Structure 1
Amino acid sequence: MSTRPPSGSAAVRGIRRSVTEATAAAAAHQLEPLHAASSAKDHERLAIVQGSVVRTLLEQLHPGGLSSADAQEAIQCCAKNAAPWYPDLDPNLLVLVLMGALGAADPTDGPQPNHTAIAEHAALLIADLLVMADEPLDGYLSFALAEIERAETMELP
């Protein structure tokens, strides 16, 4: 039996709102709204949803596969765009977010991770990738939430 809240729950709406508001704040270069939107209480689910959005965007932008040069370009472009207005920019966190989205690392692992900083860097990367894809967030976010819901409701044999 799953203890996960249904998709229409306040928790899921909260994750949707956090991702939407954080991404919009990152796109608009608004520091305080980015901080506020990235401080969700459900850090684990927020990281999973943001990671799914990043992965889906990367898959769309690089349908032939993501090379190390493509990944480096995404990180450099995001860092270059965020550096002038985001004082806490840490390229290592951008790399961690990207690696987590690809399943190569868990950005919430390690000694007391700064969940808000990880969520903020994920929002920076998402906002940048959305510009590259010339697409709105909503479809990617809906897909990510549906995939998370499907994965969380599957029963093990």
Structure 2
Amino acid sequence: MTESWRHLPAPARPVAASTTAAVTALRKGDTAAFAAAGERLAGLDPTQTGLILGTVVRLLLEDGHPDGLTADDVRATLAGCVRSWPDADPQVTLWLLAGALGVLDEDGAAAPKPDALVHNAIFLITDLLTGRPVAPWLTAALGEIEHTQLND
């Protein structure tokens, strides 16, 4: 079944659709479909895509650690992702975790390339989902982003 994202604002639809396709392909082991979905995601506005994927990661981390996240939890998340997905880049995954947690020094090292960010974000999201569907997390992330933008 294909998720309909018509209820979302137009700029968010391709991010949601491509993220869903990438997670589905990764779970099925369909490398061609994963690469195609990742390529579509990497070709979108990196600011919007990063905000949406980063918010999904943060929400999943908060859900998995309701009492707060420790450095050991971050290490375990990083190690678990890299173990689960051998193509995951530990440096990029750590960069994504830092960004999602709001501790990234954006004046420091240059950001990884968009395709590396997207692929590793999908590895991380899929790992954090632990078999759950991605659609509710995308919807929650987009709702939170909308709420934040309305209140700023």
Q: TM-score range by the shorter chain?
A: 0.7 to 0.9
- Of 135, 138, 151, 1:138 maps to 135
If the length of structure 2 is used for normalisation, what is the TM-score? Answer: 0.82
Alignment gaps of 5+ in structure 2:
1-6
SS in 1 for 2:137: helix
- Look up the equivalent residue of 1:11 and give its one-letter code: P
| Distance in 2 (alpha carbons) for counterparts of 1:136 and 1:8 | 18
1:56-75 superposed matches below 5 A = 56-75=59-78
Counterpart code for 2:132: E
Q: Check the 8 A contact 1:93/1:118 in 2, yes or no.
A: yes
Partner SS state of residue 64, structure 1: coil
For the aligned residue pairs, the C-alpha RMSD in angstroms reads: 2.1
Partner of 2:27: 27
Query: CA shift at 1:49, angstroms?
Result: 0.8
Identity of aligned residues (%): 32
Q: Find out whether 1:47 has 2:44 as its counterpart.
A: no
- Whether the 8 Å CA contact 1:55–1:102 is kept in 2: the answer is yes
The amino acid that maps onto 1:101 is A
SS across alignment from 1:136:
coil
The equivalences for 1:52-131 within 5 A come to 52-83=55-86, 86=87, 89-105=88-104, 110-111=109-110, 113-131=112-130
Task: Decide whether the 8 Å contact of 1:35 with 1:116 is kept in 2.
Answer: no
Contact preservation (8 Å) 1:19, 1:46: no
- Sort the Cα spacing of 1:44 and 1:110 in 2 relative to 1 into closer, same or farther, 3 A: farther
What number of residue pairs does the alignment pair up? 142
Aligned to 1:36: 36
Distance (whole Å) between structure 2 residues aligned to residue 145 and residue 106 of structure 1: 24
Structure 2 CA distance for aligned equivalents of residues 26 and 68 of structure 1: 28
Pairwise CA distance, 1:19: 1.4
Matches of 1:112 and 1:128 in 2, distance apart?
22
